[in-house]
Structure 1
Amino acid sequence: MSLEILQAKSDLRDLIDSYATLTDAKKVSEQMLLFTTDARFKVYFGDQLVSDVTGTKQLEEEFNGHVALVKRYFTANAQHVVQVDGDSATGVVFSQVKMVRDEEGQEVLTDYSVQYHDVYIRQDEKWFIQERSSHYIIVEARALQG
């Protein structure tokens, strides 16, 4: 494996970890800087497509709507399998995302096991997410105690 590919994989890992960190901090406008302006973002629960958004303007509106409903996020990224081809790449990220919301005065934790299927592009020596398909594999919700 060449030094260039190793550097690209490291940069891409930083990109997906930045996405998760900004999600947890609810910094949506900063998160949009990780995407190309024409980015496409899809969400699947099982085999069902529940959201398909194109462009960071629409994506930011969508994300802000979700963030308004969530008290806290906690994301842990695991495997990141990447194929680099020059200034483009594809990858799959395995993540655990926890969200805490208020429901009728009770804090409810929803735990998501997610696979992100990504297309990345390098522009001006910087990597961006051009396409992201979020596949929610396991979803569990429960009331928090105490």
Structure 2
Amino acid sequence: MHDDEADSPAAHTPSRLRDRSELRDVVQTYAHGADRRKPDLVASMFTPEGRLVIHRDPGSTEPPAVRAGRAEIARALESLDRYPVTTHLIANQLITFAPDGDRADGETYCTAHHIYESQGVRRDRVMSIRYLDTFVRTDEGWRIETRTLHCDWVEDRPLTA
């Protein structure tokens, strides 16, 4: 991918701006599907053979969990069932397109709140997440070929309200 693409005239064509918007929709649909517990919707944002690579908590020496294919990716969402509520807030997104325009790399920041109860106290496990994505244009539109989830930090706090 090209690092200098943001300054090129091609970065601002209507088709490239549409691609950026569609890629943002893919990322936001993934977050919505996770929060609404719609595993098939989340999985549909991946190519049929897509991969989800999940690095555990920061500083962990465990190898990442790897889920391949839409069925496995949908099952991976079951790990969120222990939280009655989650909210994934999508923030910065940087996209770099391949020269052919049908592939792209992305880095997206997310702050994810995971609400749960422990010993009668409602708590919020806040995670700062970076999604490193490889996108490909398919007959279904833009899809994630590989998503690598990195958790930069975690904070666990009691909720006062």
Q: Same fold by TM (over 0.5)? A: yes
Distance 1:25 1:133 in 2: 21
Secondary structure of 1:68's counterpart equals helix
Match of 1:28 among 39, 42, 66: 39
Structure 2 residue 112 is the aligned partner of structure 1 residue 97: yes
Distance 1:60 1:22 in 2: 10
Structure number with larger C-alpha Rg: 2
Structure 2 residue 145 is the aligned partner of structure 1 residue 135: no
Structure 2 residue 67 is the aligned partner of structure 1 residue 82: no
Distance 1:115 1:50 in 2: 14
State whether residues 39 and 131 of structure 1, in contact with CA within 8 Å, keep that contact through their aligned partners in structure 2.
yes
Secondary structure of 1:26's counterpart equals coil
Structure 2 residue 116 is the aligned partner of structure 1 residue 68: no
Cα offset for 1:103? 2.5
Aligned length, in residue pairs: 145
Distance 2:132 2:112 in 1: 15
State whether residues 43 and 70 of structure 2, in contact with CA within 8 Å, keep that contact through their aligned partners in structure 1.
yes
Identity %: 23
Cα offset for 1:110? 0.3
Distance 2:73 2:117 in 1: 24
Distance 1:50 1:105 in 2: 32
Cα offset for 1:106? 2.8
2:4 corresponds in structure 1 to none
Tell me the TM-score normalized by structure 2: 0.83
1:59 corresponds in structure 2 to 73
Residues 5-29 of structure 1: per-residue CA shift (max 9 Å, x gap): 2111111011111111121211112
Equivalent AA in structure 1 for residue 93 of structure 2: H
Structure 2 residue 6 is the aligned partner of structure 1 residue 4: no
Secondary structure of 1:46's counterpart equals coil
Tell me the TM-score normalized by structure 1: 0.91
Cα offset for 1:3? 2.3
Distance 1:3 1:145 in 2: 47
Cα offset for 1:125? 5.8
- Root-mean-square deviation (CA, aligned residues, Å) is 1.6
Distance 2:64 2:97 in 1: 29
Which consecutive residues of structure 2, in runs of 5 or more, have no partner in the other structure? 1-10
Distance 1:28 1:78 in 2: 22
Correspondence list, 1:12-51, <5 A: 12-44=23-55, 45-46=57-58, 48=61, 49-51=63-65
